[in-house]
Structure 1
Amino acid sequence: MIRFLRQKTNITSILVVRSITLLLLSCTAIRTTVGVISSIPSSLAELPLDGHLSFDELHHIAKDFGNRFQYLPSAILYPKSVSDIALTVEHIWQLGPYSDLTIAARGHGHSLQGQSQTHRGIVINMESLKSPLMKVHRGKSPFVDVSGGELWINILRESLKYGLAPKSWTDYLHLTVGGTLSNGGISGQAFRHGPQISNVHQLEVITGKGEVVKCSEKQNEDLFHGVLGGLGQFGIITQARISLEPAPDMVKWIRVLYSDFETFTRDQERLISEENTFDYIEGFVIINRTGLVNNWRSSFSPQDPIQASEFKSEGRTLFCLEMAKYYKLSDLDTAIKEVERLLSQLNYVSSTLFLSEVPYIEFLDRVHVSEIKLRSKGLWEVPHPWLNLLIPRSKIDIFAAEVFGNILTDTSNGPILIYPVNKSKWDNRTSVVIPEEDIFYLVAFLSSAIPTSTGTDGLKHILTQNTRILDFCERANLGVKQYLAHYTRQEDWKNHFGPHWESFVQRKSAYDPLAILAPGQQIFHKAAPFL
């Protein structure tokens, strides 16, 4: 029947078949030889919503941070309650496989390649579902209950009122809870606490059938683990219970430079393996960037200004180790001694020790400062062809030699992050795919492209560069996994998930059998068979 409806046929016949099959539903679809034109069922407008559906001014929602893909939806749902989302999803579920409607849950729109968009479907503006649900619970094991559409920066501000804070972060806090938990949530605290998905006690999820389900490790555990890192495929996160810990007051923020990659990674791995170490450890690569050390002076002070002024970075690939030690004001002396002890074990270029001391919230929200500056210059809403890779520890030297030595030979168009994390802090029951080794590296190429440029800072050049990196990883059989992956063929997704593909498909069949949710990931297609 589905194949018949997809052929070039008489429009009247299609409507007759649909009216027989779907009975009283008023969904109308016209299929032509050039594609599918879907209309929103009038019955959707009659749903008893606390919020509302908007059918106008849709263009602003048809883009994301990546600024490369634009898919125009048919409507935007602005929910004011969980039931708004459940009613909408359930209604589309009841329309059955003959309706083309899909649903994309969109948080702050920070996806990179259209993952939070849907073509002619319904986008749910999750940020409409925020504040009323946030509640901090103190005690021996503190936690906070939050909406899936709440921004992490708001959770930080609220929990700090009680002297508490979440344990694990992303580098950028102006993202929604549902967005990061659907992917992983990695930053410089992940080596110690794991990603954000390792610090969740409980979820409330709306499945692709419109069911509202509470889930945790002890209740509906398969859905719980599936949704965490599940790319939005099994349910929409409407509420989360996030683990908290006592919050520090201040941060000693440190950067040092290395000219040798092997020494740089050895020091990183030493630090993440110690029990008493820094609270945050990241690194980044500096490729032929003149004067970077001097640019640090606006927020960092060199330990030895004279030596630092004599250090020259021109024409060299350098590696920066960035560390932070959190502390209470009453523990300042102890923090100073700890930092001195840890630094004494490292083998960085001695003249490149730069230090800063900032409040905890200022450190965590540091990227937002850069955002404000870029927005003022019109450089924020540009294409962001980012590439995020998870690389096994045993292959990181091979990767670095080729990528930093041969493929990237010019000044990079954005930060290049590189730091190790411990696999033991990740739960292998979740949907996230990571390398098999005990330690693996996150390497993130966070490029920004100038839309009008045809040079090395243009989109075409950066995308070609990304392709060269991926091709090398495949040829060299490095066992690399993409984080925030984007594929357009299911065969590529099968390769991405590897032995986990079968369980991923089974979960999809159980919780979203019509493939209504998260069509922008392009893993499954509505009404198409999964197996």
Structure 2
Amino acid sequence: MAKNGVVIDLTSMKNGNGTGIRIASDGSYADVGGQQFWIDVLNATLGLGLTPVSWTDYLYLTVGGTLSNAGISGQTFQYGPQISNVYEIDVITGTADFVTCSPNNNSDLFYAALGGLGQFGIITRAKIPLEPAPKRVKWVRMLYTDFSDFTRDQELLISKNGRNDNKALNYLEGSLLLDQGSLDNWRSSFFQPQDQPKIISLITKFRIVYCLEIVKHYDGQTKTTVDKDLQQLLKGLSYLPGFMFEKDAKYEEFLNRVHSEELKLKAKGLWDVPHPWLNLFIPKSKISDFNDGVFKSIVLQRNITTGPVLVYPMNRKKWDDRMSAVIPDEEIFYTVGLLQSSGFDDWRTFEDQNKEILQFCEKAGIKVKQYLPRYTTKEGWVNHFGSKWSTFQKRKLQFDPKLLLSPGQRIFNNNE
């Protein structure tokens, strides 16, 4: 997994050697060990009526791991990624120093480690801000056959993103329903059996259907107004008449939605298989070109896509540019995730599709940034970090001068 390097199993720190989960007496934050899963953080905070605000779709990931990348989901447009929701972290650097850092204390390491791909140190503890937790959610999906309508509505909804605005949405993601795929995957188990025939008919006719997914939180105080607020938010949207679907769910049931589908796939032996994923950030100005050149062309023509395909927008202002994570230089950009599952004998076919997508973007002048990036040359990494490269190099020299944390990713060790 990391040639000539090491792989850190943070969960081993759960055996009495790491920080657990401690909630501040005033409820303002959770002090969390880097080895803790986000599902453990959720369960601990909900017991006190509290919750973090920024999540990943899948909660069985470590806190330290996601903070070393960014941590994104449908809340990112409003709250920013998980790295934008951290007060303080502990880091073991490549120089074997144990450092507590924050925006006001050892700030260079704080900004380096958040989104730093583990290149500067291992995040062993984080102080995560908390807010009062809602009780339940209104969970809505709407279908589109026109990509312009789909993206226009997404961008309209994320523009209404006041953090403390009770009338704003709390979650927004988009996905594709493909003619070549099966509705029997974790993104579509949402739909009721009686609705599936007309959805399948729509997909068969158009080959690609775009699905907009939104969530509105509520509790005892807002229970009587949530439906009215939701209808006001949906007013004027261009989804297909008759293709809006709604569920009411517990807050924790919604956040942990992927795990329930994981259990179904594990029972069928379809979970522990290769996952040749491709995750990209696309500038808003090029998302239509991406749809035409990738979704409508490469993906449909190759006809191999066997997992969820996500596409939804984020607001650049919710990210902190001082951190190591890299995003497009536009105020609105989209995340695209092709979350493939393959067999052990055909994963190269999916890798070839990923390469073709990246080659298309390069030829079309689409300046994509990879999320969970993987490059095989120094040039690739330099292009990825762009204007941040010189800062990234300086921080590397400061916190890991012997390149102990480099092997495997080939950012600095290109002779592997």
Taking structure 1 as the reference length, the TM-score comes to 0.72
Equivalent residue number for residue 74 of structure 2: 188
**Number of corresponding residues:** 407
Rounded to whole Å, the distance in 2 between the matches of 1:297 and 1:424 is: 31
- Residue 332 of structure 1 deviates from its aligned partner by 1.3
Rounded to whole Å, the distance in 2 between the matches of 1:310 and 1:217 is: 50
**Does the aligned pair in 2 maintain the 1:130–1:148 contact within 8 Å?**
no
Q: Is 1:516–2:397 an aligned residue pair?
A: no
Which residues of structure 2 form unaligned runs of 5+? Answer: none
Q: Is 1:232–2:132 an aligned residue pair?
A: no
Equivalent residue number for residue 313 of structure 1: 203
Q: Is 1:328–2:214 an aligned residue pair?
A: no
- Residue 345 of structure 1 deviates from its aligned partner by 2.4
The partner residue of 1:133 within 16, 20, 23 is: 20
Structure with larger RCO (C-alpha < 8 A, sep 6+) = 2
1:259 maps to a residue whose letter is T
Rounded to whole Å, the distance in 2 between the matches of 1:492 and 1:298 is: 38
1:503/1:373 Cα in 2 relative to 1: closer, same or farther (>3 Å)? same
Rounded to whole Å, the distance in 1 between the matches of 2:352 and 2:398 is: 39
* CA deviation profile, 1:2-55 (whole Å, cap 9, x unmatched): xxxxxxxxxxxxxxxxxxxxxxxxxxxxxxxxxxxxxxxxxxxxxxxxxxxxxx
**Does the aligned pair in 2 maintain the 1:129–1:149 contact within 8 Å?**
no
The partner residue of 1:292 within 172, 175, 183 is: 183
Quote the sequence identity (%): 47
Alignment of 1:195-210 (within 5 A): 195-210=81-96
Task: Compute the RMSD of aligned alpha carbons.
Answer: 2.5
The partner residue of 1:154 within 22, 25, 40 is: 40
1:134 maps to a residue whose letter is I
- Residue 393 of structure 1 deviates from its aligned partner by 0.3
SS in 2 for 1:323: strand
1:496 maps to a residue whose letter is H
Q: Is 1:173–2:59 an aligned residue pair?
A: yes
**Does the aligned pair in 2 maintain the 1:293–1:313 contact within 8 Å?**
no
Equivalent residue number for residue 424 of structure 1: 317
**Does the aligned pair in 1 maintain the 2:20–2:36 contact within 8 Å?**
no
Alignment of 1:271-420 (within 5 A): 271-274=157-160, 275=162, 276-289=167-180, 292=183, 299-301=190-192, 312-315=202-205, 316-409=207-300, 410=303, 412-420=305-313
2:211 maps to a residue whose letter is C
1:270/1:405 Cα in 2 relative to 1: closer, same or farther (>3 Å)? same
Equivalent residue number for residue 215 of structure 1: 101
1:444/1:292 Cα in 2 relative to 1: closer, same or farther (>3 Å)? same
* CA deviation profile, 1:465-511 (whole Å, cap 9, x unmatched): 11110001111111110000011211211111112111101101000
**Does the aligned pair in 2 maintain the 1:248–1:360 contact within 8 Å?**
yes
SS in 1 for 2:203: coil
SS in 2 for 1:349: coil
* Structure (1 or 2) with the larger CA radius of gyration: 1
2:45 maps to a residue whose letter is S
1:386 maps to a residue whose letter is W
**Does the aligned pair in 2 maintain the 1:251–1:359 contact within 8 Å?**
yes
- Residue 378 of structure 1 deviates from its aligned partner by 1.2
Rounded to whole Å, the distance in 2 between the matches of 1:295 and 1:506 is: 42
1:389/1:295 Cα in 2 relative to 1: closer, same or farther (>3 Å)? closer
Equivalent residue number for residue 488 of structure 1: 376
1:421/1:502 Cα in 2 relative to 1: closer, same or farther (>3 Å)? same
1:369/1:269 Cα in 2 relative to 1: closer, same or farther (>3 Å)? same
SS in 2 for 1:356: strand
Taking structure 2 as the reference length, the TM-score comes to 0.92
Q: Is 1:241–2:131 an aligned residue pair?
A: no
Rounded to whole Å, the distance in 2 between the matches of 1:412 and 1:463 is: 11
SS in 1 for 2:222: helix
1:216/1:71 Cα in 2 relative to 1: closer, same or farther (>3 Å)? closer
Alignment of 1:455-494 (within 5 A): 458-494=346-382
